[in-house]
Structures are given as C-alpha cells and as structure tokens.
Homo-oligomer: A and B are copies of this chain.
Amino acid sequence: MKNAVGRDIPEELLADGVEVYQGLDYRQDYDYQKATPKTRANVRSDQSKLVSLKEAIEKTGLKDGMTISFHHHFRNGDYTMPTVMKAIHEMGIKDLYICASSLGKAAKDIVPMIEDGTITRISSSGVRDEVGEAISTGKLKHPAMIRTHGGRVRAIETGQVHIDVAFIGAPSADELGNASGKGGRSDCGVLSYANVDAEYADKVVVLTDTLVPTPNHPASISSIYVDYVVEIDEVGDPAKIASGAIRLTDDPRELKIAQSAAEVVVNTPYFEDGYTFQTGAGGSSLAVTRFLKPYMDAKGIKMGWALGGITEPMVNLLKEGYIGAILDTQDFDTASVASVHETPNHFEISTSEYANPFNKGAYVNYLDYVILGALEVDTDFNVNVVQGSDGMIQGAPGGHPDTSAGAKVTIIVTPLVRSRIPSIKDRVTSVTTPGESVDVVVTDNGIAVNPQRQDLIDSLQAAGVELTTIEALKEKAYDLVGTPKDLEFEDQVVALVEYRDGTIIDTIKKIKS
C-alpha cells in the first residue's frame, strides 16, 4: 500500500489499525481517550521504597512477554540500562519488548540478548552502532519500530505501547523516588524523556548512584509515580554522558553552510523580536546559532525562546541576554548540564511539552525556525536521518520530524556531497521526515527552497539571497561524484519508520549480505 510519500508499505505489517502515512495534518484535531496505568494505592504506609535491583524486578512482577522502558539521557555513558538488562537476563526472563527513547553505543550489551530471545521487540528513536547493526542484519525477531521523540510520547499516551515496567536511571534520587537529572556524580541535566514513562507505566523503578535527603526537589520525576528505588554502583560514566565541550566547527565548508543558513533565517519574515528557534547539535547547525548574534544586534531584536537539545553556545546566548528562555529536553555538554535549573530562564520541559503531536499543543508547534541536519535529502525534499549510505541503521529521527512539522521555517543543512556520496538524491534510502514539512535545503553549493513555500522564495529573493532548485543541487552532486548506485536489500523488513502521528512512513529492509 503506497503512502503519501510514495513508499510501499506491506499490508501484513500494518497490525492493530496502524495506517500508512497520509500527510502532515492527518490527525489534526483527532479526538481520543488517553491510556492509563494500573496503579496501587499507598494510603498511608511510609515503608521504604529502597530495594535491591533483583528485588525490584521481582516485586514489579516482570515476566516473559512484557514491555520495559529506558531513557537515553546518559547517552554513550549509560550504565543503567546495561545493569538492569544484565539482571533481567540472569533471571531468565524472555521475549521482552524494549521501549527506549534511544539506543546508542551504551546499549551494545543487549546484542547477545537480541540473539538469544531475551529481547524480541524494540521501539526506539535512535538505533545506532552495535544495536543498529544487529537490527539491520535481521537479528531481532520482530521488526523494530523507529519512533520520533514526540511520537514515542504519543504511542505511550494513546496506549499503542503499554509499559509494564519503566526503569529510570537518575543522577540523584531520594528514598521516596523523587528523581533529578542533577545532584549526583553523573549528572545528565534533565530527565525529559522519562516523564511519560513515569506517568504511564504500571510499575516504575528509579535507579541512582546518589541517594540524597528527601525532598529531592525540583524533581524531574515525582515520587508519586515511583514504586521502587534501587541504589546501583554507577548510573553512568560522566565522561561519556556530556561532552566536555561540543566541537565548535572550524571546517570552512560547515561554516559556509552555517552562514548561508543564518542568511536564510534573517531574511525571512519571522526573524522579528521574540522569534523562536531550535537547532540540532551538528557542526553546521550549531554554528548557525553563533552567526545569528550579529544579525540580532544589527536589528536590535532578541530570541524569545530556544527549544530542544541544548549546547553551550545556546546557554551563552541566554546568559548574554540574547534569548528570553531555554526550554530544555536534553543536554549535550557539561555547560548545558550545569546551566539547567541554575541559569535564570533555563527550564527543563517534558518531551510531551516539547514535541508530542497528540497533546493540546507542544512547543514545536510554536517554533519559527528549526535548523536540522540530514544524511540524505531527495528532490521531493524528503529527508533521511536514520539509514546510512550503506543501508545500515545508524541515526535517529529524534525530534527531526516533530520540529519540521511544527516550525514555520524548517531548514536542512547538509554538505552537497559526503565522502564522495551525494547527500541530495532522486530518492532517499528511507524517509524519516516528509518533504511537505521541509522548507529550505542549505548546502555548500547552494540553497533550494521547497516550491510550496513561494512566500519564502519571495522574501529571500527580495533580500538578494541567491537560490537554486533541489533538482539543480542533485544534478550538481551527481556531476561531482556520479549517480549513486541503488543499495541492495533482502525482502525481510527489519524496521518500520513511524511518523510522529503513528502512521508508517517507510520500511527498512535487511541489508543484503
């Protein structure tokens, strides 16, 4: 069955009323009743929630076939998930569904558990590195579900995914379960991804290496959602959680792209006092933030708020008074970890507040600009940020489709060619973000605006910004490095790429070995 971006989705994969992608506004004003957890009343007992990890797993009633969840705020330094999965594996529990916010390098220990049937289903935003390879080569029993950050909240809140037990690693927690992204030995700043897990899972286990006195406020996770608190040796490796400092690019090509993207921003009509902004953490994306400063000075305006994953350049702009507020869902470096809850107007928000398409209005809906990267862009402006040029799953939709849908101007920054492989193509290997939500593609070889945004074309041309077309960019890329060869895949679908509203936008097939 062909979907609205022209991808053929096998009907046998569309279980349980799941539909194929129908377009950006398919579910606008969709009425539904939220799902809920089963819970247990604690009328007046002050019994301690502190138990050992094994006790916690036993007391939650975890058994074969259940769904468990994890967050990825510890990023490459996460010890929580490996610790929990090791204990579950030793207890012999099988056929588990892992509902993760993302799975990166720190999740590599679960590959043998995928192979031995401990884990048979996975949903995640990012699926990278060893786990990405295991899924790409067909080792997971059921196709993985690749979800956006907003889509994960939606899936849980609609009941599409019911979490039996949430395991929430926290840099600090008190004995009642109040958990924070700060106050410990391995701070990650915020716990935004885990809010929905705490609210919707039947049982919630908080794991920490730093027990602090009650009340551990401000708490990202409230004790009223927590069944058990487990003290473990280390929740993470601080050196790998937050980068000491995100590399500020000095690559001339990246700087050129960033400068061009900044010119697009400042020459479109939303660049007014109070404009709202998000940028990814890639080299070019980050550099855009720096380039905006002189333009704000010149125009005498300030940014209203900045959203999403946060890095030091944004924190600095806040401290210097260029931004009204930061609404933070993830901290990528030590500066942003240190700043959240400390710098005035640097606030933690939940992932539902950030990007959930099924609440009454997430912050992404109110974004003026978002600057995002891409692995591939096609001539329909569809973007792939999940599948590498070798066909391997190595990326994450994250908030890419969420912010693209919400922002008034979505700008993709990408080099025209990477390692002799064109980034602009006739057809992306798989669609992560539909072209109808992408407005501008900025490369080191020119800027193309989506023809559906004639208003932006007019503004940019009036300002003297030179534009080309997406087809011309593709031709130029092909001229430089030749027409790319189609990758070869087997028939087995190893992953479904879910759009944020729950429809299927693409499938990923097993790499031909």
Contacts and interface: CB of A to CB of B under 8 A. Distances in A.
Contacts of A364: 44
A220 to B, nearest CB: 13
A447 B217 CA distance: 37
A362 B25 contact: no
A274 interface: yes
Contacts of A385: none
Nearest to A35: B36
A461 B274 CA distance: 67
B226 A360 contact: yes
Contacts of A215: 305, 325, 327, 347, 363
A280 B122 CA distance: 51
Nearest to A150: B43
SS of A interface (majority): loop
A29 B42 contact: yes
Interface string A372-402: 0000000000000000000000000000000
B361 A223 contact: yes
Interface in A280-316: 304-305
A446 interface: no
A26 B43 CA distance: 9
Copies of this chain in the oligomer: 2
A187 to B, nearest CB: 19
A397 B224 CA distance: 22
B43 A24 contact: yes
A406 to B, nearest CB: 5
Given A29-B42, A32-B39, A365-B42, A213 B353 contact: no
A278 to B, nearest CB: 14
A485 interface: no
A362 B224 contact: yes
Interface in A7-49: 24-46, 49
Contacts of A361: 42, 45-46, 49, 176-177, 223-224, 226
Question: Which of the listed residues A27, A28, A40, A357 has the most CB atoms from chain B within 10 Å of its own CB?
Answer: A40
A226 B35 CA distance: 18
Contacts of A39: 31-34, 358-360
24 contacts: A28-B42, A30-B43, A32-B39, A33-B39, A34-B39, A39-B359, A39-B360, A40-B360, A41-B357, A41-B358, A41-B501, A42-B357, A42-B360, A42-B362, A43-B501, A44-B365, A45-B361, A46-B365, A214-B366, A215-B325, A215-B327, A215-B347, A218-B347, A226-B360
Interface of A: 24-46, 49, 176-177, 204, 213-215, 217-218, 222-227, 274, 304-305, 324-325, 327, 345, 347, 349-350, 352-353, 356-366, 405-406, 408, 500-501
